[in-house]
């Protein structure tokens, strides 16, 4: 799993620094992969609550939690819980 994480880190860095570009057809195929959508959103926008992420991606909270759980298990993202207005809020971000 660390190899995948390292590849993603390098890929995101290269995208961010404009060292590589992705064709529209490849990007359109990647957008069909839920994990990819979460990783790209976090790369572009930084940390966010799981609830807000579900709204941004127009997903159900349960789908969002399931994808987040998979990404956490593979060590691609990290999360923390904060108390906001007396409620527990899970915040996710890239490592």
Task: Indicate if the alpha-carbon torsion angle 52, 54, 57, 58 is positive or negative.
Answer: negative
Give pLDDT, residue 69.
Answer: 93
Look over the chain and give the mean of its residue pLDDT values, rounded to a whole number.
83
Q: pLDDT category, 95, cuts 50, 70, 90? A: confident
Q: Is the pLDDT of residue 51 over 80?
A: yes
Q: pLDDT category, 94, cuts 50, 70, 90? A: confident
Average pLDDT over residues 52-76: 92
3-state secondary structure of 1: coil
What is the domain count for the chain?
1
3-state secondary structure of 20: coil
- Give the domain range for residue 15: 2-94
The angle formed by the CA atoms of residues 92, 94 and 95, to the nearest 5 degrees, is 115
For 53-85, the DSSP string reads HHHHTT--HHHHHHHHHHHHHTTSEEEEEEEET
Domain CATH for 30: 1.10.10.10
């Amino acid at each position: 799993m660390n190899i995948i994480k390292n590849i993603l880190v390098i890929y995101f860095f290269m995208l961010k620094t404009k060292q590589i570009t992705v064709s529209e057809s490849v990007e359109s195929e990647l957008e069909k992969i839920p994990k990819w959508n979460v990783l790209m959103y976090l790369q572009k926008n930084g940390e966010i609550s799981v609830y807000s992420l579900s709204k941004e991606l127009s997903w159900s909270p349960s789908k969002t939690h399931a994808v987040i759980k998979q990404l956490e298990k593979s060590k691609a993202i990290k999360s923390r819980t904060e108390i906001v207005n007396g409620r527990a809020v899970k915040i996710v971000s890239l490592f």
